[in-house]
Structure 1
């Protein structure tokens, strides 16, 4: 259709990298692209930590669940929601900084939008990327390793580097399970999920040589059968976020 849409549709998560460093020019291009993402009221409530030090990457890989590709990639980004800079700006004018759940959402959304811009920029330069939600496995330890101040938390990490694999494309939900015209259409979602289960059954079967015979909905059921990362709320409250 056009090069940008082709790039977006060709996305795959890369979990094996050649140990090649990114140039400073490319790092700057990726981060400045991230900065041009939309941001709520221009608050820019995020910060990005670029990690290239091998020992730091090793620590973060362990804290994220021993994900080796964090160590392999040329650049590991830790994308953070950052209300600290907003508090500093407010107090500079001798005013009281008020925050609540809305400001927490703004910081988290700003971080996600900036990260996706960074991902697209990196892929346009020929790099592969992989988001790392495991950075929230032990978020307090991550904060200590990266010297994050109060009111800053790591939303996720992102590996960026030269790909050393060509993974297959993972099918996505059918359009009818994602896009609704004017009103939400639950019946079409149910039909779309059923179709997707059939597609993913074949995908898993082919990908594993018949060893894994399951569906998308079964994976979702297993994932949400118990709370995930229940430590996040007390962690955020201890970091100074007021979720009210």
Structure 2
């Protein structure tokens, strides 16, 4: 196992940070590393907004479920899928032709681009001694978050990312993942293989969460996922995305 793989295998979410600020040079290095992620047709359809202003972080924290680590982290990155630059390019060079920035395919491309870039950023940050945690809560009140960040049409916040130096007194354990054979299928999908892996993973997660909580929680992963899937969540997303110009075709 080389250094890169060892770092990836030791990833953990960090929700408690020291007061040390993230140096501008390091932030720029992290984003530069993010820019080297693969991008479909080199569209680079994403934007990262670094929020350091305490008042703005406080506002975003309130909109994202009142998670205190958004307020406490030195830098809160909001990763956005961004098709506005592509629309502007089309208007500049092909104003006499219809453009399809609102097509579902371009929405997928931009969302994937943002995810790929952000994961590069996460690995780069951890290599510099920083810690991160992803924040899907920016989609709780996505319209208000977009307004607070002055996002134009064809741009939406995919998720946030807290970045900072981890507090050594608040270390988190590494959460076990699904067995490899559950997610690695050879030459076609095997529902039976996937099912066996979930059964094994249920046993693993019961032990993990029971040990972590002193026996207060014992629900297996599949039960947690069932609870998640049967509870309505962010059903406003479809209408919001359409209002911003996405998924029109």
TM-score under structure 2 length normalisation = 0.96
Give, in whole Å, the separation in 2 of the partners of 1:218 and 1:57. Answer: 34
Aligned residue-pair number: 244
| Aligned-residue offset at 1:94 | 3.8
SS at match of 2:78: strand
Aligned with 1:197 (options 178, 185, 202): 202
Give, in whole Å, the separation in 2 of the partners of 1:130 and 1:166. Answer: 13
Q: Confirm or deny: 8 A CA contact 1:20 1:73 kept in the other structure.
A: no
Alignment of 1:67 onto 2:67: yes
- 1:3-82 alignment, distance < 5 Å: 3-82=3-82
Q: Which position in structure 2 is the counterpart of 1:156?
A: 159
- 1:210-221 alignment, distance < 5 Å: 210-221=215-226
TM-score under structure 1 length normalisation = 0.98
For structure 2, the 5+ residue unaligned runs are: none
SS at match of 1:131: strand
RMSD: 0.9
Q: Which position in structure 2 is the counterpart of 1:97?
A: 99
| Aligned-residue offset at 1:194 | 0.4
| Aligned-residue offset at 1:3 | 0.3
Give, in whole Å, the separation in 2 of the partners of 1:43 and 1:102. Answer: 13
| Aligned-residue offset at 1:131 | 0.3
Deviations 1:145-200 (A, max 9, x none): 11111110000000010111211111000011100011111111111000000000
For structure 1, the 5+ residue unaligned runs are: none
| Aligned-residue offset at 1:17 | 1.1
SS at match of 2:138: helix
- The farther-off stretch of 96-105 and 134-143 is 96-105
Give, in whole Å, the separation in 2 of the partners of 1:212 and 1:224. Answer: 19
Give, in whole Å, the separation in 2 of the partners of 1:192 and 1:156. Answer: 29
Deviations 1:57-92 (A, max 9, x none): 101111000010011111110000000010001101
Q: Which position in structure 1 is the counterpart of 2:83?
A: 83
Give, in whole Å, the separation in 2 of the partners of 1:226 and 1:128. Answer: 31
| Aligned-residue offset at 1:98 | 1.4
Give, in whole Å, the separation in 2 of the partners of 1:170 and 1:241. Answer: 35
| Aligned-residue offset at 1:240 | 1.3
Alignment of 1:234 onto 2:225: no
Q: Which position in structure 2 is the counterpart of 1:170?
A: 175
